[in-house]
Chains A and B, each alone.
Chain A
Amino acid sequence: MTRPRGSSYCCLAPRAWGDPARDPRDLCPQMRFMLLFSRQGKLRLQKWCVAAGERERRKMVRELMQVVLARKPKMCSFLEWRDLKVVYKRYASLYFCCAIEGPDNELLTLELIHRYVELLDKYFGSVCELDIIFNFEKAYFILDEFLMGGEIQDTSKKSVLKAIEQADLLQEEDESPRSVLEEMGLA
């Protein structure tokens, strides 16, 4: 005979308004890190927005590069990896890859990558992988002007480039008085 039995599932009370602690969604997701690496799996730039040990970082980079490099061209630009969401896009031989927390806006992260590429392109003039290898410090400075702690600092291309150009001016002022002798360490 049939015995109706007790429910096996617990139902949670509906969300209460004005009590964010009960809202399971994190409204302030953060970018965890950003990586640039080549098709050959060479890391070209890394930006960490949360603290992580060196060993752990290397492990994550290795693992993530493998996952992303294995993906085929027409696939979706988002994937779940560990407890994070990875947004990536390939530009020529370079992969730009951001690890964000689940609730973050994936499409906008994709455009954040694009905006960064545009900035690099504008600064270097049709940027290529070698520009980023040999002028890695510039790539970092531009990124720093654009992002801070994983949050976008200024979305205006003009403001970011203006800041970089000013810094370059300072650099030229700094270095102009150097003589060749100084450069060779003979002064």
Chain B
Amino acid sequence: MVVGFVVGGTEPLIGKSKEAEIKRINKELANIRSKFKGDKALDGYSKKKYVCKLLFIFLLGHDIDFGHMEAVNLLSSNRYTEKQIGYLFISVLVNSNSELIRLINNAIKNDLASRNPTFMGLALHCIANVGSREMAEAFAGEIPKILVAGDTMDSVKQSAALCLLRLYRTSPDLVPMGDWTSRVVHLLNDQHLGVVTAATSLITTLAQKNPEEFKTSVSLAVSRLSRIVTSASTDLQDYTYYFVPAPWLSVKLLRLLQCYPPPDPAVRGRLTECLETILNKAQEPPKSKKVQHSNAKNAVLFEAISLIIHHDSEPNLLVRACNQLGQFLQHRETNLRYLALESMCTLASSEFSHEAVKTHIETVINALKTERDVSVRQRAVDLLYAMCDRSNAQQIVAEMLNYLETADYSIREEIVLKVAILAEKYAVDYTWYVDTILNLIRIAGDYVSEEVWYRVIQIVINRDDVQGYAAKTVFEALQAPACHENLVKVGGYILGEFGNLIAGDPRSSPLIQFNLLHSKFHLCSVPTRALLLSTYIKFVNLFPEIKTTIQDVLRSDSQLKNADVELQQRAVEYLRLSTIASTDILATVLEEMPPFPERESSILAKLKKKKGPSTVTDLEEIKKERSSDMNGSAEPTPVNASNVSTPSPSADLLGLGAVPLTNSAPAPSSSGSLLVDVFSDSSVAVPLAPGSEDNFASSSDLASSEVVSEEPADAVHDADELIHKFICKNNGVLFENQLLQIGLKSEFRQNLGRMFIFYGNKTSTQFLNFTPTVICSDELQSSLNLQTKPVDPIVDGGAQVQQVVNIECISDFMDAPILNIQFRYGGTLQNLSVKLPITLNKFFQPTEMSSQDFFQRWKQLSSSKQEVQNIFKAKHPMDTEITKAKIIGFGSALLEEVDPNPANFVGAGIIHTKTIQIGCLLRLEPNLQAQMYRLTLRTSKEAVSRRLCELLSEQF
């Protein structure tokens, strides 16, 4: 009939210009409209013809705004073809127009009750096609009855099952569970494979939401599956598809089984046999050369592998699955390579097969280089990310960086995020991390989001072992004539903080650093320029010798009169600050940034957002070696340790979430923040790293109870625990209770040191008579010279005061000094004491030496008085990287390739005191089986050996 319409017109419909087509269509629409509106009642046949034409026009892409009523009228026709066109029109064109729905529902109701299977089929299809809530309300109760009624024909059962499934998907609340559910499960045993196929779809969806009610489906599904996979290819007649027995049903059954854990042993044995048979068949020669055969066979195979991964309990099957996928990785069919890469991603998450997946690394890297289809390359990137662990991180990151140079624009940002995450997560050596991120900026600067460069700054600030290297590297990178603006930002920030570390080299003298940065200034956007201005003022503090040069720049019209108000304000304020403030004030105001509190990497958060949580969750689960991460050791994080903020994007660095302030300190404006005491933010609620909470909470609880007892002795005793945290680090929170927080920041050089103690009043009430005193025992006084300045006796609510302790080590010492604090809070006298973590190892200077030197000295120090040894049980997971980090943190050099046994650690250093210098050698031998360590220290002085051994033993 439509053909008639096309050939009936004078112009051909297809192949003519768009305008001609529209003209022709409009003419036809006008004609149909007049027929519908005409006085003469149309007979069913004409109505059908015109409704069909409307549908045709709609499918050509034109809007149809009439004819719905005529279509609904066709539904009540007794002629099959008229009814059929009516239903088709409704299915294609009606979404949920409420008035019509009532009429449509009536017609459907009649057809369902007609007991004519053809009419029932049409009605069920219409319900499934429209699938609206109104339809669910009307029919969700009726359809289960049709489904399980004994006299329903097979074809109607199939339609009813799938129709119910559709309604359950849109409105699960409207489908009542009841007696029918148990009868539906038994459809898995039905004679008719078409009924079983349709029923399995329904059961899987229902079982996922109500696993208990459909538990019995597991054994039925297994026996059905078993019958299918063992059947000869001719047994199932028309349900065999290109020599593969019932592939659709097999896949659906395997999917249903994934709703449940591995079944009981009896059933499980049978299922394992099925899975093995499927894996075996993959190795058999194909029964047909047609791609349909291999596709259907492999569809079942991939679903079986999904089930094996889901059960994650049969190492044998997992490894076989992995090998099979490994073969597919090199298959000539692109589709199979794609799916193998995808499926292996999930396989990498199983501890049984993670190693097996890793063996394919070269193939996957090769795929990245040679695949011609970006969607396949994308899968290869995902798989590399999933299989990455400490053993192959360097290789994988290098390959991803390589690929990034030519990668498709659509996936660059994601690769950048992945590289940044892997580089951070598996960094053994943070210089490698810094190099990697700078490479990222160089190769794909435009795709490096703020999160990535914020993160590298966070890490450099928090790890003082990498700061010098970072400064040197960014300085070199900035030499490039054209460098990305993101590099200028990172460079500006890092040189502003740590430029002094490379200023000794005449090639990177202060003036050269400044000129280098300033040469980029004019090419940068406003936010970057603002950041650079902050770098300049930091330079004024770091390098007084170039102060006038910087002042000249700040004073120039292009800065002071800049049209951008932010730049202008910074220039004016910085210039003023550099002119009037004394060196001391400048030093305080522009001090190095305090460490950032740890929290979830904002990059990871971004990747999760990009990819949807489930993808990343899977990948995270893979990494079962969290405890072995260098970043994984549980340490409370310093919350506040300095009194300066830089008017730079530092606030954003804290992460994505807003940080709630717990007191009412005014939010510092960007310009004012420089001079505002940021300690008013000190009680910011900072979420701690996951593992550290217990540790942190218990120590503060402990201490808070001591305050009331007013017995310093007890407090000191328990506070011994606290100083262990500071053996291998210099900054952090020493003590915290409801009233008071004490933060520390310290630096040591040879036999001298300086410690900043920050006292934060967490309440809104003043502390009166606030008197902190550092007490040294008589014995200690002769070997440790401490000088403190008194602090203001009044500490306002929410405020923070700082006290500087200058330290000089005269000779080696055992004990730690005690910090006693007394103050009045709300009329009661508070008294507490904590040990100050000034320990002998703080005066360590690392010494590098060759293996030969080491053993020569080791032998020289062999008398029993010089050696102290301790054998102890490991208190923390025994991880090589953490151990290394701790030995370096302790202060000694970590000597690689010195000990003949690579599992052992050796270190060397010199303790500097005013009177003598004491050479120290140490050796740590872990015993993984016994979870024990043996620590040996040899120094020329027994007491020193003993003390160092004592201190270091506590760390592992």
Give chain A's interface residues, CB within 8 Å of chain B.
1-12, 14-15, 17-18, 20, 24-25, 27-28, 30, 43-46, 49-51, 53-54, 58, 72, 74-80, 83, 105-108, 110-112, 114-115, 133-137, 140-141, 144, 148-149, 151-159, 163, 166-167, 170-171, 174-175, 178, 182, 185
Nearest to B375 among chain A residues (CB) is: A79
The answer to whether B626 and A18 have CB atoms under 8 Å apart is no
Contact residues in B for A7 (Cβ distance below 8 Å) = 598, 626, 629, 631-634, 689-691
In angstroms, Cα B44 to Cα A182, docked, is 11
The count of residues in chain B whose C-beta lies closer than 8 Å to any C-beta of chain A is: 129
Q: Which of B6, B95, B255, B462 contacts A3 (CB 8 A)?
A: B462
Query: Contact at A27–B95, with CB atoms within 8 Å?
Result: no
Instruction: Determine whether the beta carbon of B155 is less than 8 Å from that of A159.
Output: yes
Asked whether B248 lies within 8 Å of A148 as measured between CB atoms, the reply is no
Q: Which A residues are CB-close (under 8 A) to B56?
A: 136
- In the assembled complex, which residues on chain B have CB atoms less than 8 Å from the CB atom of A133? 14
Scoring B residues 153 to 171 as 1 if CB is less than 8 Å from chain A, else 0, what string do you get? Answer: 0010011001101100110
Are the C-beta atoms of B162 and A149 separated by less than 8 Å? Answer: yes
With A76-B375, A166-B118 already in contact, 6 other A-B pairs whose C-beta atoms are closer than 8 Å: A12-B620, A14-B621, A24-B618, A79-B375, A137-B88, A185-B46
Contacts of A27 in B (CB 8 A): 204, 208, 255-256, 258-259
- Decide if B247 touches A111 in the complex (CB within 8 Å): yes
B170 / chain A contacts, CB cutoff of 8 Å: 51
Q: Which residues of B contact A108 (CB under 8 A)?
A: 247-248, 251, 295-296, 299
User: Taking CB as reference atom, which chain B residue is nearest A81?
Assistant: B375
Cross-chain contact A8 with B81 (CB below 8 angstroms): no
B631: chain A residues at CB < 8 Å are 4-9
Q: Residues of B contacting A105 with CB < 8 Å?
A: 251, 299, 302-303
Contact indicator A2/B155 (Cβ below 8 Å): no
Distance between Cα atoms of A75 and B333 in the complex (Å): 10
Residue of A nearest to B194 (CB): A154
Stretch at the interface among B25-33, B238-246, B398-406: B238-246
- Whether B634 contacts A2 by the Cβ 8 Å rule is no
A-B contact count (CB 8 A): 294
State A140–B82 Cα separation when bound (angstroms): 15
Known contacts: A134-B6, A155-B194. The answer to whether A6 contacts B634 by CB under 8 A is yes
Asked if A115 meets B241 with Cβ closer than 8 Å, knowing A7-B626, A8-B424, A24-B618, the reply is yes
Query: How many Å from the CB of B744 to the closest CB on chain A?
Result: 12
**Contact assessment for B261 and A18 in the assembled complex, using a CB-CB cutoff below 8 Å:** yes
B338 and A78 form a contact (CB under 8 A): yes
Q: Which of A6, A12, A46, A110 lies in contact with B689, CB distance below 8 A?
A: A6
- Could you tell me the distance between the alpha carbons of A76 and B424 in the complex, rounded to whole angstroms? 33
| Residue of chain B at shortest CB distance from A83 | B612
Q: Which residues of B contact A78 (CB under 8 A)?
A: 335, 338-339, 375
**Contact (Cβ within 8 A) B889 A155:** no
Which one of B601, B636, B729, B885 lies within 8 Å of A9 (CB-CB)? B601
In angstroms, Cα B599 to Cα A7, docked, is 8
Which of A6, A15, A76, A157 is the one whose CB lies under 8 Å from B690? Answer: A6
CB atoms of B425 and A9 under 8 A apart: yes
| Residue contact A24 to B614, C-beta cutoff 8 Å | yes
Q: Which of B581-613 contact A (CB under 8 A)?
A: 595, 598-601, 604, 612-613
The B119-171 residues at the A interface (CB cut-off 8 A) are 121, 124-125, 128-129, 131-132, 155, 158-159, 162-163, 165-166, 169-170
- Distance between Cα atoms of A83 and B84 in the complex (Å): 34
Contact between A149 and B208 (Cβ–Cβ < 8 Å)? no
Is B761 interfacial (CB-CB < 8 Å)?
Answer: no
- With A4-B633, A111-B299 as given contacts, are A76 and B194 in contact (CB-CB < 8 Å)? no
B617 touches A (CB below 8 Å)? yes
- Cβ-defined partner of A148 (8 Å) among B82, B162, B337, B463: B162
For A185, the chain B residues whose CB sits under 8 A away are 46
Residues of B within 8 A of A44 (CB): 59
User: Given A12-B620, A149-B166, A106 and B335 touching (CB < 8 A)?
Assistant: yes
- Smallest distance from the beta carbon of B459 to chain A beta carbons, Å? 9
